[in-house]
Amino acid sequence: MNTLHLNLKKKWFDMILSGEKTEEYREIKPYWTKRFLEYYGNYNYPNNSVIIKSCLSENPFEWLEYINIRPKYYKGDEIIFTNGYGKNRPSFKVWIKGFSIKQGVSEWGADYDKKYFTFHLGGIVSMSNCT
């Protein structure tokens, strides 16, 4: 089981904790591409521009499979969300229901008509220092 650690602004932290926000987004950029996708098989690893173009295509997972790239995080893995920095910062753990590349919901922080790496969030597994 993989565990991903992500820091959130208070607004998004509270919305996920309350159950109002059920997806978390990250931009399709080289930094997140390296964190969320992995190379497998016997193929020379393509550069980030090829992967990013694939993610932005109409059917991104079809292209990613063609170039031997797959998500690192799958259904059943977990995300630990934190708010702020420091030893006693609030945090909670949720399980991942799924991962996709899609347009986000603007009320949840996504820009209109833009695709994102999207984690579909399940239930809260545990909490620490949350009020």
Taking only the tens place, the pLDDT of each residue in 42-93 is: 766 778 888 888 889 888 888 888 888 889 888 889 999 999 888 889 999 9
Q: Which residues pair with 115 in a beta bridge?
A: 103
Q: Are 92 and 73 in contact (CB under 8 A)?
A: no
Which letter does DSSP use for residue 45 in this model?
A: P
Residues 3-15: pLDDT tens digits? Answer: 999 999 999 999 9
Q: What is the pTM (predicted TM-score) of this model?
A: 0.90
Tokens of 91: 């945090």
Q: Tell me, what DSSP letter sits at residue 36?
A: H
pLDDT at 115 over 70: yes
Q: Burial, 120: exposed, middle or buried (Cβ in 10 Å; 0-12, 13-18, 19+)?
A: middle
- Domain 3-128: CATH class, spelled out: mainly beta
Predicted confidence (pLDDT) per residue in 86-101, tens digit: 888 999 999 999 999 9
Whole-angstrom Cα Rg for the chain:
15
